[in-house]
Structure 1
Amino acid sequence: MQTIKVGISACLLGDEVRFDGGHKRSAFCASELGRHVEFVKLCPEVGIGMPVPRPTIRLEAHAKGTRAVVPKTGEDVTERLIDFAERATPHLQQISGYVLCAKSPSCGMERVKLYDPATGHAQKEATGIFAAQLQQRYPALPLEEDGRLNDPLLRENFVMRVFVYAAWQALGSQPKKSAVLAFHTSLKLLLLAHNQQAYRIIGRELAEQQEMTTEFLRHYIETLMAALAKPATRANHTNVLQHIQGYFSDQLSHDERAELSEAVLAYRNGLEPLLVPLTLLRHYQRLFPNNYLAGQRYLNPYPNDLKLRYGL
């Protein structure tokens, strides 16, 4: 069984490595997601040799770009943080996702304070130095912040992408076209739920590609992961649910078809969570197995005990 590795800011697992000697333990990561993945924990600021506790770092706007500076001393630690990302490459190449500490000048993914050193005024418009390196070096890698994981939709989307990316990594660095086609086929309904335009474009590009070159494989997975990062809408989920429903139309009685249709429409109208029609569809898949549906990640994209579709 494949071990899925996920990078994480060490403070989110309870390590007391923050600038004030504290932590920001994420209960979801530590107690729930941690049952299914192996965490690779890093703290860039400790990694560059800064002590705990330590003087704060802030991001400043300079002529040569965004810099990470210790305001108490004026020390610029930007290059040291970039070098840390380079040194961490052996660990980072193994991971299938990364959970970052929000608002951190090293790890914040978005809306980190960017200071004007002349006035001291700040705007929430920057990305942490280490987080920016992750985005640049690993554009297909699923990234999320601890605070955003409190949103049920963003939490579900991140975990789904982690499991999809792990499945891609399991194919190896130079998979054959048959393996890529099988992988892509398993994602068709997920893609339909998240990005119908990308579903059509990616499928066409893959079909037309004669050879799985390194350049195409990179383009494929980056395009795919960007498409899946777009949250699925109720309307798109409803289309997929109705599409799946069609596979059982000949096997179900009139009353069963009506019950399933009512469950799908109740979800569409916001009266029931996604789990309600999905439970019925999984039930009928067990009663009337369909090989195509059995291979679709949409029905079971991650372990059920994570309860990620309860609030969708």
Structure 2
Amino acid sequence: MNAQPTPTLGVSQCLLGEPVRYDGGHRREAFLVERLAGHVAWVPVCPEAVLGIPREPMHLVRENGVLALRGNASGTDCSEPVHWFVQQCVTTLANAGLDGYVLKARSPSCGLQVQVANETNPSAGLFAGELVEALPDLPLIEEDALAAHNTREAFLERVFAHARVRALFATPWTPADLVRFHTREKMLLLSHDRAGYDQLGRFVAQAATQPQEDVARRYRRRFMGVLAKPASVGQHVNVLQHVAGHFRDRLDPSRLTALHEAIDACRQGEHLVRDLYAQIRAMARELDIRWVGEQSILTPFPQELLTEELHD
């Protein structure tokens, strides 16, 4: 398996333990600081810090169809300096090579689902909304969603995939490089969306006849679009059966039977899919089955991040 490039992640600064909140405190997120920090480069941002620390806590209101920030007690409109900062910051971030972003839940600037005064439906905060509009393919997550290991691992998978495809197109590349990249990503794509997998394969086959800039832009968008669709157990079973075919002539009958029994156990929910991928990775290395061993789905992100133990 090729070495993983180091992703660049934007993050709400308070989540790294920085004292930038309205009261001079922070909301340190243990997984980010203790686990993820060793595998990524951070770009910390706190849009509200432009108002100073400490500052009055704020909430969102909608005025003439536009979101605004108002002080909870004073009612003071604090929007202008934050809007100015957000516009400058998002422009910078769009050129920073980000691979994902971890946002502070319920923050009137950084939250993805924030209560707006006198409205039933939540809205993205001032900064989060601009970020989504400027970088629609960027993997995003709020920090409270990191507590569920399935959600956390799905986010990490997309972040590291984004870093890989960004690294491919960051240096001079050829259609043959794209074919090699796509070959390594095939089973990961198939685990998310069979139709998208097929369409992207056809796109790669025609890439040599298209302008490189268009190919890079369209491939990256389609690639991340496929990965944005949730992977199901059934789709993983389909991938596992496909991969098992590469072992048909290399495993003795008893081990091949055991492999298919393990796949069936995954289908029944009696065996963790990720554990079986780890076993397949070991068997591919043992038997020197290069095509299988190089599939990114076997190691979509550093295995140390699989741990479910989080510390306060």
TM-score, length basis structure 1: 0.89
Is the Cα–Cα contact under 8 Å of residues 190 and 298 in structure 1 kept in the other structure?
yes
Match of 2:200 in 1: 202
1:239/1:43 CA distance change after superposition, 3 Å: same
1:207/1:62 CA distance change after superposition, 3 Å: farther
AA in 2 matched with 1:84:
V
1:85/1:26 CA distance change after superposition, 3 Å: farther
- Structure 1's unaligned 5+ residue stretches are 116-120
Distance 1:82 1:175 in 2: 38
AA in 2 matched with 1:81:
H
- Is 1:50 matched with 2:47? no
AA in 1 matched with 2:67:
T
Match of 1:134 in 2: 131
- In the TM superposition, residue 88 of structure 1 has moved relative to its aligned partner by 5.3
Among 30, 41, 51, the alignment partner of 1:38 is 41
- Structure 2's unaligned 5+ residue stretches are none
1:152/1:59 CA distance change after superposition, 3 Å: same
Q: Which moves more between the two structures, 4-13 or 16-25?
A: 16-25
Match of 1:252 in 2: 251
User: How many residues align structurally?
Assistant: 302
Task: Report the 3-state secondary structure (helix = DSSP H, G, I; strand = E; otherwise coil) of the residue aligned with 2:42.
Answer: strand
AA in 2 matched with 1:151:
A
Match of 2:116 in 1: 114
1:146/1:208 CA distance change after superposition, 3 Å: same
Is the Cα–Cα contact under 8 Å of residues 47 and 82 in structure 2 kept in the other structure?
no
Match of 1:118 in 2: none
Match of 1:278 in 2: 277
Is the Cα–Cα contact under 8 Å of residues 51 and 82 in structure 2 kept in the other structure?
no
Distance 1:74 1:12 in 2: 26
Distance 2:149 2:211 in 1: 36
- Is 1:241 matched with 2:240? yes
Among 11, 15, 20, the alignment partner of 1:12 is 15
Distance 1:281 1:69 in 2: 55
Distance 2:11 2:61 in 1: 25
Distance 2:217 2:143 in 1: 28
- In the TM superposition, residue 309 of structure 1 has moved relative to its aligned partner by 9.1
1:147/1:212 CA distance change after superposition, 3 Å: farther
Match of 1:170 in 2: 167
Higher relative contact order (CA 8 A, sep 6+): 2
AA in 2 matched with 1:184:
H
Task: Report the 3-state secondary structure (helix = DSSP H, G, I; strand = E; otherwise coil) of the residue aligned with 2:165.
Answer: helix
Among 85, 88, 98, the alignment partner of 1:86 is 88
Task: Report the 3-state secondary structure (helix = DSSP H, G, I; strand = E; otherwise coil) of the residue aligned with 1:219.
Answer: helix
- In the TM superposition, residue 262 of structure 1 has moved relative to its aligned partner by 1.6
Match of 1:297 in 2: 296
Is the Cα–Cα contact under 8 Å of residues 11 and 102 in structure 2 kept in the other structure?
yes
Q: Deviations over 1:151-184 (max 9, x none)?
A: 2221111111111111122124464322222222
Distance 2:18 2:162 in 1: 27
More helix by share: 2
Distance 1:82 1:215 in 2: 32
Identity of aligned residues (%): 33
Q: Deviations over 1:14-53 (max 9, x none)?
A: 112112322111111111111111212111111xx21222
